[in-house]
A and B are shown apart, each in its own frame.
Chain A
Amino acid sequence: MVASVTSLGRNGLYDWLIQRVTAVILASYTVFLLGYLVLSPDLTFAQWSGLFGHTAMRIFSLLALLSIGAHAWVGLWTISTDYIKPAGIRVCFQAACGVVMFAYVVWGVEILWGL
């Protein structure tokens, strides 16, 4: 058993599962958006903002946003433990990633819900 306090779930299976579930969410979100763009060749701003006015779309977008955060955290945490061997630099990198992710999520929420 290898202990680790900085991984998202502090448990391999949890991280692994998060990585896969969030990947599915992000993939469906991407497919949905691309599909929407292809099917609406004469897209106007009103249509576009109308789409994001739907509560369902807002929930879907928020889900995707949180998924990006979690997905990126697990991924970058893994990369940092693979390649950054000095513990001090690794923790700084992880902290920076955390701050960036947090900022993006808050900013995204603000845009989506217009707070």
Chain B
Amino acid sequence: MLVSIYRYNSEKDNVPYMEDVNVDIPEGKDLMVLDVLHLLKAEDSSVTYRRSCREGVCGSDGLNMNGKNGLACITPLSEVVKKDKLVLRPLPGLPVIRDLVVDMSMFYKQYEKIKPFLVNDTPPPAIERLQSPEEREKLDGLYECILCACCSTACPSFWWNPDKFIGPSGLLQAYRFLADSRDTSTAERLADLDDPFSVFRCRGIMNCVSVCPKGLNPTKAIGHIRGMLMQRST
């Protein structure tokens, strides 16, 4: 199989380039893309990428594989390879540090901006704060986000305004706290999101939904936030 991989090392290369490597794939096994990266690195130790859990829960190895963002460790070759060729690029829209490693600070900054932590003004009880199963169910499809950035880096609105638009991942988390019955800062949270950029740059393109490796739906969460803003202001 031909693997075309994005290479850039600021100490050696003036500009990034695509390197074509032929990789022997063992017969009868449906490898994951991450396994292919391991094979590449065993041959050329300078090939650089992030990885940790190798089972799709840590969110380290978000990549652009044959044009689509996803996690290398849970993307089988059978699903992504076309015409015996695999093109591997870093997540689009973020500065590249080296090869497939991008600088995620802008992404994390947007996450921090939504105050992704529970705020509750009342003194905590001696036990847990009670929450009914129905209230808890509202957090399903939200708390599972692994911060892999596949969604935000697939979003044209985030490409154009990564400093102002929170992006799908951050907004999913914003709604996770808006929806939590234990959180008391709903009004402040909404006030922080009311400007023309933070939420409203979402144009419903839904790239986020189509790439999310955890099957989450940021567009739906953004719709809920808009609904809450509307309810608050009309």
Interface of A with B (CB < 8 Å)?
1-4, 7, 9-17, 78, 81-83
Binds A, one of B10-18, B98-106, B187-195: B187-195
The residue in B164, B192, B193, B197 that gathers the most chain A C-beta atoms within 10 A of its C-beta is B197
B195 in complex: contacting residue of A2, A78, A82, A83, CB < 8 Å: A2
Q: For residue B195, which residue of chain A has the nearest CB?
A: A2
B198 sits at the interface (CB 8 A): yes
Residues in B with CB closer than 8 Å to A2 are 164, 195-198
A1 with B196, Cβ < 8 A, contacts A17-B230, A81-B161, A82-B160 known: no
* Nearest CB of B to A9, in Å: 8
Q: Can you list 21 A-B pairs, Cβ within 8 angstroms, ordered by A?
A: A1-B191, A1-B192, A1-B193, A1-B198, A2-B164, A2-B196, A3-B195, A4-B197, A7-B196, A11-B195, A11-B196, A12-B193, A12-B196, A12-B199, A13-B226, A13-B229, A16-B200, A16-B226, A81-B161, A82-B157, A83-B160
* Nearest CB of B to A34, in Å: 27
Interface of B with A (CB < 8 Å)?
157, 160-161, 164, 191-201, 226, 229-230, 233
* Nearest CB of A to B207, in Å: 15
A12 in complex: contacting residue of B157, B160, B161, B198, CB < 8 Å: B198
Give Cα distance in the complex from A15 to B196, angstroms.
7
Q: Which 3 A-B pairs have the closest CB atoms?
A: A12-B200, A2-B197, A82-B160
Q: For residue B200, which residue of chain A has the nearest CB?
A: A12
Give Cα distance in the complex from A16 to B196, angstroms.
8
Q: For residue A15, which residue of chain B has the nearest CB?
A: B196
**Chain B contact residues: over half helix, strand or loop, or mixed?**
loop
* Nearest CB of B to A38, in Å: 32
Contact in complex: A15, B200 (CB < 8 Å): yes
Residues in B with CB closer than 8 Å to A4 are 195-197
Residues in A with CB closer than 8 Å to B226 are 13, 16
A11 with B161, Cβ < 8 A, contacts A16-B200, A16-B226, A17-B230 known: no
B233 in complex: contacting residue of A3, A13, A81, A83, CB < 8 Å: A13
Q: For residue A9, which residue of chain B has the nearest CB?
A: B196
Q: For residue B192, which residue of chain A has the nearest CB?
A: A1
A1 with B161, Cβ < 8 A, contacts A13-B229, A13-B230, A15-B200 known: no
Give Cα distance in the complex from A63 to B191, angstroms.
31
* Nearest CB of B to A87, in Å: 13
Give Cα distance in the complex from A83 to B161, angstroms.
9
Contact in complex: B230, A12 (CB < 8 Å): no
Residues in A with CB closer than 8 Å to B197 are 2, 4, 12, 81
The residue in B191, B200, B201 that gathers the most chain A C-beta atoms within 10 A of its C-beta is B200
Residues in B with CB closer than 8 Å to A9 are 196
Give Cα distance in the complex from A12 to B191, angstroms.
11
Give Cα distance in the complex from A15 to B202, angstroms.
13
Q: For residue A8, which residue of chain B has the nearest CB?
A: B196
Contact in complex: A82, B161 (CB < 8 Å): yes
Give Cα distance in the complex from A3 to B191, angstroms.
12
